[in-house]
Chain A
Amino acid sequence: MKKIYLLLFIAGVSLWACSKKNDMTPSNDIKIISLTANFNPVMAYDTTVITVEASGESLQYGWVVNHGKIKGSGNSIKYSACQSCIGHNTITCRVFNDTGEVSDTIMIRVTPYHPGKK
């Protein structure tokens, strides 16, 4: 009986660990017009401003990056990355409202840090 409980515990934890978030439905009422960065490439520990321009009503914005940090929120954020994030990093912007969401990505190249260089 104890072995059954142990197996159920392991199965339960594994399923919980593998569970995924539900995605929002795509929206035909939202259009991303542009997604741009003011600096690209950007040196490690430096920042670049990324701005999304989109059409639609009561828009909200979500940001995800695979390597690095995002500061701020809304339609314009600052991105920075440390030395271990050197390479091509992908920033995903989600624009959403009650009708659903659309998303787009921008790739930022992060270069090695050099003191005194911009």
Chain B
Amino acid sequence: MILLLVQGYVVWAQCCTSGNPFISDAEQPALQSRVLTTSLAYRYSHSGPYYSRDAHFTELPFQEIANSNYTELQIGYGVTNWLTVLSELGYFINKTLETPGIDSYKGYGLGDAALYLKFNAYSNSRLRLSISPTIGVKFPVGMFDQEVDNVQLPISVQPSSGGYRYMANLFISKGLGKIALAGFASYEYSQLIQSDNFYYKYGDQWIGAIYFNYRPWKRVILDLQIRNEYRGKSSRENEEIVESSGYDVLFFTPQVTYAFKHDWYLSAYGDIPIYKYYNGIQMSFGYAVSLRLTKKIDFIAIQARHKANKSSK
């Protein structure tokens, strides 16, 4: 069974953030050999109010809203029983920042691409325990200098992150009767973005999550996730620290997955922040809702069925 499908969240947390939202399927164990999964995800996210530390900041004389519609194609393949290769490509239908009645900025287009290697470090079906570490890199293939009328859009609505990002994570799951518990820890390092007129480095990101997975019926899977996301402060020219950057947000993510026939899965989930802390003054994360459609193909099982059909004839 697919233990947990993707949960995601949008890094709208700090000003000037660009690139894909972090939708990761690291919350799955590694695939078995010659298993292919293809999925298409859609995500709508909406910003929240400005925050200073852990409270609303209401002293700005205007209102600013950000939202995005994002899609992502992800393909995973179990090369061997211990190695899974995953790739993903993001596309923004829109990435919008607006001050109602005053101005509006809209970016769109290809975001980043990513490549991950997930390892099956330990798997015991009797104990229902698996440990899967992953390493990966994100490539800034999309636009980072999108313009409208020869004016470059703000960085926060550029579809690409503008720089490489390197990540490593660890996923551990343990089945207990009808329930499964899982833990996830991730670290992401952002490369310095340096171009003719831009010098910026996003802070390191740490994520920790625990999941509760329950299958009340054969085709219905419920997941509840509590996730903490921490990002350090960014730095800019002359190694200057950007004080109004970096955050610590605690999310609650409920998810329901329905398993159709022939290994099709449809997931719906939402991201709800339950605690937010932002350095300085920043626009905060509001909420996000997502859908993901996945198709799984087991080539070994298909081959076995063909052989069985042939021998029965």
A-B contact count (CB 8 A): 95
Given A45-B62, A62-B150, A66-B197, does the pair A84, B139 have CB atoms closer than 8 Å? no
Given A16-B141, A90-B197, does the pair A83, B149 have CB atoms closer than 8 Å? no
B85 near A64 with CB under 8 A, answer no
A60 near B103 with CB under 8 A, answer no
B107 within 8 A of A: no
In this complex, what residue of A is CB-closest to B138? A17
Number of interface residues of B (CB under 8 A): 44
What residues of chain B lie closer than 8 Å to A73, measured between beta carbons?
Answer: 148-151
A113 near B281 with CB under 8 A, answer yes
A84 near B197 with CB under 8 A, answer no
B150 near A17 with CB under 8 A, answer no
A68 near B145 with CB under 8 A, answer no
B236 within 8 A of A: yes
Most chain A Cβ neighbours within 10 Å, of B85, B105, B197? B197
Chain A, interface residues (CB within 8 Å), range: 35 or more
B59 near A84 with CB under 8 A, answer no
Given A62-B151, A64-B152, A71-B103, does the pair A84, B140 have CB atoms closer than 8 Å? no
Closest chain-B Cβ to A88's Cβ sits at a distance in Å of 8
B242 within 8 A of A: yes
A37 within 8 A of B: no
Closest chain-B Cβ to A84's Cβ sits at a distance in Å of 4
- Which residues, 236 to 292 on B, are CB-close (under 8 Å) to A? 236-237, 240, 242-245, 280-283
B154 within 8 A of A: yes
Given A45-B62, A90-B197, does the pair A84, B14 have CB atoms closer than 8 Å? yes
Closest chain-B Cβ to A114's Cβ sits at a distance in Å of 9
B301 within 8 A of A: no
Q: How far is the CA of A45 from the CA of B200 in the complex (A)?
A: 20
Q: How far is the CA of A44 from the CA of B151 in the complex (A)?
A: 20
B15 within 8 A of A: yes
A63 near B151 with CB under 8 A, answer yes
Q: Mark contacts of A48-81 with chain B using CB atoms, 8 A cut-off: 1 yes-contact digit, 0 otherwise.
A: 0000000000001111111111111100010000
In this complex, what residue of A is CB-closest to B89? A13
Q: How far is the CA of A49 from the CA of B58 in the complex (A)?
A: 26
Closest chain-A Cβ to B104's Cβ sits at a distance in Å of 9
B299 within 8 A of A: no
B244 near A67 with CB under 8 A, answer no
**A-B interface, 3 closest residue pairs, ranked by CB to CB distance from nearest:** A62-B150, A84-B244, A83-B244
